[in-house]
């Protein structure tokens, strides 16, 4: 995450900090090597229980949140890559528009045009419904079984979670990481992305001021 590290270095004396949260049901062993390899200076935490994803309805990663000095979320669930590499050309591009929006917020605080008002935040942080809770229960049962070597039993619970919340890419990607997507689910990643029931892989980023 060199871009975020560079931005932190630029803004750290202006009361700005970066916190990365790795949501991975496999836990520390799956994530710690990547954190170590990044040699990052900002704090990182590992969320094996996917608490952030479930509390704040992040259905895929990455998702960026802005939190002010009082602990209030002022911008939520932005589907943002600060840096992307073109798979065909290898060209790397930096999302300067989004980074400039962060700089604007650091400079202006609540007066920044990119701070979301209450209605926009509510749309990003919807209230949980019963199916959300049931899907979470099924997913966590599946993850527990998978971590304890009960792959066949886990698969049934993962599929129940996916049936209740097919648009939740976090549940899908995490479940697939425990097995083989083609063998276990009869699909491919590319086919799943194109499936209308899955919803958008990433919702559009709205930086309207």
Burial of 138 (0-12, 13-18, 19+ CB in 10 A): buried
Tokens describing residue 167: 């648009």
CA angle 109, 58, 102 (to 5 degrees): 25
Per-position pLDDT tens, the chain of length 209: 689 999 999 999 999 999 999 999 999 999 999 999 988 899 999 999 999 999 888 889 999 999 999 999 999 999 988 887 777 787 888 999 999 999 999 999 999 999 999 888 888 888 889 999 999 999 999 999 999 999 999 999 999 999 999 999 999 999 999 999 999 999 999 999 999 999 888 878 888 75
Supply the pTM of this predicted model.
Answer: 0.88
Beta strands in 40-98 (DSSP E): 44-47, 64-67, 73-78, 83-85, 92-94
3-state SS, residue 75: strand
DSSP of 117-180: -HHHHHHHSPPP-HHHHHHHHHHHHHHHHHHTT-HHHHHHHHHHHHHH-TT-HHHHHHHHHTS-
Of 183, 179, 177, residue with least CA distance to 26 = 177
CA angle 92, 97, 102 (to 5 degrees): 115
Partners of 46 in the beta sheet? 22
What pLDDT does residue 72 have? 95
Of 196, 134, 193, residue with least CA distance to 169 = 193
């Amino acid at each position: 995450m060199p871009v975020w590290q560079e931005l932190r270095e630029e803004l750290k004396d202006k009361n700005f900090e970066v916190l990365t949260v790795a949501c991975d049901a496999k836990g520390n062993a799956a994530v710690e090597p990547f954190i170590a390899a990044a040699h990052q200076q900002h704090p990182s935490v590992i969320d094996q229980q996917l608490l952030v994803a479930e509390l704040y309805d992040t259905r895929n990663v990455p998702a960026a949140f802005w939190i002010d000095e009082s602990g209030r979320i002022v911008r939520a669930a932005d589907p943002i890559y600060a840096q992307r590499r073109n798979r065909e050309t290898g060209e790397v591009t930096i999302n300067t528009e989004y980074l400039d929006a962060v700089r604007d917020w650091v400079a202006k605080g609540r007066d920044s045009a990119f701070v979301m008002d209450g209605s926009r935040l509510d749309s990003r942080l919807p209230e949980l419904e019963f199916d959300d809770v049931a899907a979470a229960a099924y997913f966590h049962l599946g993850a527990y079984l998978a971590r304890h070597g009960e792959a066949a039993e886990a698969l049934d619970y993962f599929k129940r979670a996916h049936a209740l919340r097919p648009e939740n890419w976090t549940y899908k990607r995490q479940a697939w990481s425990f097995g083989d997507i083609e063998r276990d689910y009869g699909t491919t990643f590319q086919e799943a992305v194109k499936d209308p029931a899955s919803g958008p892989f990433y919702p559009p980023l709205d930086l309207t001021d």
